[in-house]
Amino acid sequence: MGASVPGVSLLEVSLLGASVLGTAPLWGSVLALAVAGGAGAVARYLVDLWIQGRVGSFSPEARAVPWGTAGVNLVGAFLAGVAAGAVAVGGLSASLGAIAGVGFLGAFTTFSTWMVQVVDLAEGGRRRLAAGVLMGLLALGIGAAVLGLWIGASLFAP
């Protein structure tokens, strides 16, 4: 199973989407990104709450893991991969891919919250857990993006 699209990198697809948005009428692009970003932020908040509501029966150590942030970041990485794969094979326009990736998924996922939560764990004396959350979610996120890229390219190939 190849994780990449022949001749196209994920970075190239991301940059292509940004450049295509740059060629559209400015205010139309800004409005589309704002609407998608607003929807992504609301979705993130609701998904995070839903996930956190499910961990109440976990052990105290397991409840310390930021499951909501982990969930949105992993789902977001996967969906960004799907969108990038679809754009790479021509199954989704670059402008729609950028609106989905930069707008919706950019607001849905959160690097900054993840980093603050890792620092909070470390400062609270849970350094091993902090390292596990940092490295584990990084590895899983990369895997989710690669899987999404492969699935997106496979599903949307002409």
Query: pLDDT value at position 1?
Result: 40
Is residue 55 classed exposed, middle or buried when 0-12, 13-18 and 19+ CB atoms within 10 A define those classes? middle
- For residue 58, the model assigns a pLDDT of 80
For every one of its 158 residues, what pLDDT tens digit does the chain have, with 9 covering 90 and above? 444 445 545 555 554 455 555 555 677 778 898 999 999 999 999 999 999 888 877 888 888 999 999 999 999 999 999 999 999 999 999 889 989 999 999 999 999 999 999 999 999 999 999 999 999 999 999 999 999 999 999 999 88
The pLDDT of residue 2 = 42
pLDDT at residue number 103: 94
> Residue 14 has what pLDDT?
52
DSSP track, 87-129: HHTTSS-HHHHHIIIIIIIHHH--HHHHHHHHHHHHHTT-HHH
**Angle of the 111-123 helix axis to the 67-88 helix axis, nearest 10:** 150
